[in-house]
Every structure is written in structure tokens, then in C-alpha cells.
Amino acid sequence: MMLLWRNAFPRSPKELESEKARGDAFTWKVSLEARAGAMGAIHAFLLFYPSEMLNEDTLRRLTVPVEACLNLCAQLPAVLRPYPAELKALAAMLRLRLFEAISLLPPTTLEKSYTQLLRLLVSHLFLAVCVLLATDFLRVIRVLVLWTLLAFWAVQVVILVVRILFRGF
């Protein structure tokens, strides 16, 4: 199983770069689905395998695909740029599966990848907050514009009514 998980991801940053250059939308769709499935299988393995039985060798073998997935997730914005609509949900699923698997690993397992993991988490959370703030900000602006237009319209109606009423005087 671990051999399949290891081979689901690019072995090196150089291999990831060449994969980015030659992939089209369908290829990326298939590979992201396969990689999300591999991360889901790793998550299930960690969830149902007793943590007391995880030895150093097993953890070392599990870190290879997890670190490769971290490298891939760091490069995903460059991959998503040409095909945002088709791959957005698959990339989110891959990140979710990665975070689920990492949450079950002992904290010392990924010590070498803490900075990369922190960058991924911060960018992911910051992007989510920015999207929420942007939609709330746009909603507030729309309401303010609507109230301004309604207030302007109400003032115009009052002026028109006053002119009609006081025309005879």
C-alpha cells in the first residue's frame, strides 16, 4: 500500500515542475482525483490503525507521500491559474484530505516541513477570510448605494410634492 501512496505523488520538485509544464485540464483532473484518493487512504489508515503500532519505519514511509503532497499543494495556485473552474473543487479536496491525514500524524513526524505546512495553512485560511470579507464588504456597499439612491429619490419626491402643493400660493 505504501508503495502505491508514494508513487501517487511526484518524487521531487524537478518532477513536479515537468509535470506542471506538460499537463492539461483533464490530466490534472485525473491526477488530483488520484492524489486525493491516496491522501484519503492514508487518512483512513491512520484513523483505523492503532497509534501504538505505528513504528518509526511506518511513519517514515508515510511522511514521503505527505511531504510530496505538501509540495504539490504549494504549487497548486500555478496549476489552477489556467484551469480555475475545472480544478478548484479537486484542489480543495486534496488539501482537505492532506489536512485530515496530517491531523492524525504525531507532531514530530513532519518537523522538516513545518514552514511549508504553516505557509499552506496561512494562505488557505487568509484566502478564506479575504473572500468572506470581500463578500461582506460588497454586500455593505450595495446596501449603502441602495439607501443613498432611495434617499435621493425620497428627497426628489418630497421636493416635487412641495412644489405641487405650494404652486397655488
Place of cell 483505523: 48
Domain segments of the chain as ranges: 2-117
The residue behind cell 514530530 is 108
- Is residue 45 within 8 Å of 1, Cβ to Cβ? yes
pTM of the predicted structure, to 2 decimals: 0.71
Mean model confidence pLDDT for the chain: 80
**Which of the two residues, 70 and 152, has the higher pLDDT score?**
70
Phi, psi of 141 (to 5 degrees): -60, -45
* Helices 84-104/25-48 angle, 10° precision: 20
pLDDT of residue 150: 66
